[in-house]
Structure 1
C-alpha cells in the first residue's frame, strides 16, 4: 500500500512539476525605455534598451517569469549606459506559449544570436535564479565576455529532491536544469552574488557552484550578501557597485 501510494505521488509530481518550476506572473513589461522585439523563427520575445557602452548585457530573469519583477537588475545596466536585452519567457508577462527547459534554452541561444548580429561589441550574460541556468548554458555555447549569476544553483533537480522527497535527478520526465553539466565548456570570468539568508536556493548551492567552477579553471568572484534573501538580493546596498566593479575589471 505504501509503495503504491509513493509511486502514485511520484507520477503526479512528474506531471505537475512544471507548474512548480514555472509559476510565471501575468504582469506585462511596459518600461518606456525598452522596445519590444520578436526575433528568429522561434518567435522569441525580447525587451531592448539601447546604451552607449561597448558592452551589451543579455539578461535572464528568475521564475517570476515577467520582466516587470526584475527592474532592479535591468536598471543597474541601464544606469551604466549598457545596452541591455531581457528575454521574456513564454507563459509569463503576457507572452504566449508554454515554458520548458528545452524551449527556454533554445530561445536563449536564439536571443544571443540576434543580439550578436545587432551589436558590434562584446556581450555578457546575467542571470537570476532560474535564469542562471540559461546564462550558463549560453556562455557554454557562445562567446561571452563575462557571466553574472544571482542566487544560482548547481542542479535544479537537487532542489526538487529536497522539496519533494523524490529522486528527481534520476526520474524520467523531470526537467533537470543541470547547470554543472555546462561548466566544462565555460571560459569567461564569473561573478556570483548570493544572499546569506536565501531559503529558496540556499547559499551553499552558490558556494558549491563557485567551487566546481574554480576547480574547472575559471576565475570566480563570489559575494555572500548578509541579510539578503532570495527575492530582495538585487535591492541590497552594493549590488550595483559589485556588478560595475566586476565588469570594469575585465
Structure 2
C-alpha cells in the first residue's frame, strides 16, 4: 500500500509540477522607459529600453513571471546607460501562452537573435533564478560577451528532488532545467551573485555551478552576498557596483 501511495504521489507531482515551477504573476509591466516588441514567428514578447552604451544586456527574470517584480535588476543596467532587453514569459503578466522549459528556451534564443539584429555592439546575458538557465542556454549557443547569474542552480530538478522527495531528475515528463549540461559549451566570462541566506536556491548550488565552470576553464567571479535572501538579492548594497565593475573589465578587453 505504501508503494502504491508513493507511486500515486509521484504521478500527481509529475502532472502538476509545471504549476509549481511557473507560478507566474499577472501584474503587467508598465514602465515608460521601455517599449514593448513582439518579434519572430514565435510571437516572442520583449520589453526594451535603449541606452547609449555599446554593450546591450538581454535579461531573463525569475519565475515571478512578470518584469514588474524585477525593477532592481533592470535599473542596474538602465542607470549605467546600457540597452536592456527583457524577455516576457508566456503565461505571465498578461502574455498569452503556456510556459515550458522547451518553449522558454526557444523564446530566449529568438529574443537574442532579434536583439543581435537590432544592436551592433556586444551582448551580455543576465539571468535571475529560473532565468539563469535561460542565460546559460543562450550563452552556450550564441555569441555573448558576458554571463551574469543571480542565484543560479546546477539543475532545477535537483531542487525539485529536495522539495518533493522524488527522484525528479530521473522521472519522465519532468522539465529538468540542467544548466550543468551547457557548461562545456560556454566561453564568456561569468559573474555569479548569490545570497548567503537564500533558502529557495541555497548558495551551495551557485557554488557548485561556479566550480563546474572553473573546471571547464571559464573565467568566473563569484560573490556571496552576506545576509541576502533569494528575493532581495538585487536590492542589496553593492549589487549594481559589482555588475558595473565586472562589465567594465570585460569591455576593456
TM-score surpassing 0.5?
yes
TM range (shorter): over 0.9
Aligned match of 1:97: 97
Could you tell me how far 1:52 is from its partner in structure 2? 0.1
Shift of 1:41: 0.3
Cα offset, 1:170, TM superposition? 0.2
RMSD (Å) for aligned C-alpha atoms: 0.3
Asked if 1:9 corresponds to 2:21, the answer is no
TM-score with structure 2 setting the length: 0.99
Name the residue aligned to 2:138.
138
CA distance in 2, matches of 1:175, 1:34: 31
- Partners of 2:11 and 2:127 lie apart in 1 by 31
- Map 1:144-159 to 2 at 5 A: 144-159=144-159
Residue 131 of structure 1: CA displacement?
0.0
Mapped partners of 1:21, 1:179: distance in 2: 15
Aligned equivalents of 1:2 and 1:95: distance in 2? 42
Give 4+ residue runs of structure 1 displaced > 2 Å after superposition.
Answer: none
Structure 1 unmatched ranges of 5 or more: none
Q: Quote how far apart the aligned CAs of 1:219 are.
A: 0.3
Partner of residue 33, structure 1: 33
Q: For 2:246 and 2:97, how far apart are their aligned partners in 1?
A: 36
Any residues of structure 2 matched to 1:5-154 within 5 Å, and which?
A: 5-154=5-154
Distance 1:30 1:46 in 2: 13
Cα distance between partner residues in 2 of 1:143 and 1:96: 29
Q: Please name the residue that 1:172 is paired with.
A: 172
2-structure distance, mates of 1:93, 1:57: 21
Query: What is the CA–CA distance in structure 1 between the aligned matches of 2:72 and 2:98, rounded to whole Å?
Result: 26
Structure 1: how far apart are the matches of 2:177 and 2:43?
Answer: 22
Counterpart position of 1:215: 215
Give the gaps of 5 or more residues in structure 2. none
* TM-score, normalising length: structure 1: 1.00
